[in-house]
Amino acid sequence: MGIRPGVQIEVLRRGKPGGILHVACGILEFMIRHEDAAHVQVSVDQ
């Protein structure tokens, strides 16, 4: 369970700077630490 290459994710909430992110990926929602999020490459959907 997690973020797979090529999937769309949505940031639902952001914690304090350097904190956690609450994200949704399909029907799953989970939290990801700032240190782990730094390893995820994203592009913005227009």
User: Where are the chain's structural domains?
Assistant: 1-46
Judge whether 21 and 14 are in contact, CB under 8 Å: yes
> Nearest 10 degrees: CA dihedral of 20, 7, 9, 42?
70
pLDDT of residue 7: 84
Cβ contacts of residue 45 below 8 Å, gap of 6+? Answer: 8
Whether the model pTM is above 0.75: no
In single-letter form, the type of residue at position 43 comes to: S
Q: Dump pLDDT digits (tens) for 10-44.
A: 889 998 888 899 999 888 899 999 888 888 887 77
Using alpha carbons, list the distances in angstroms from residue 12 to 39, 44.
19, 15
pLDDT of residue 20: 92
> CA-CA distance, 21 to 17, in Å (whole number)?
10
Say whether pLDDT at 46 is over 70.
no
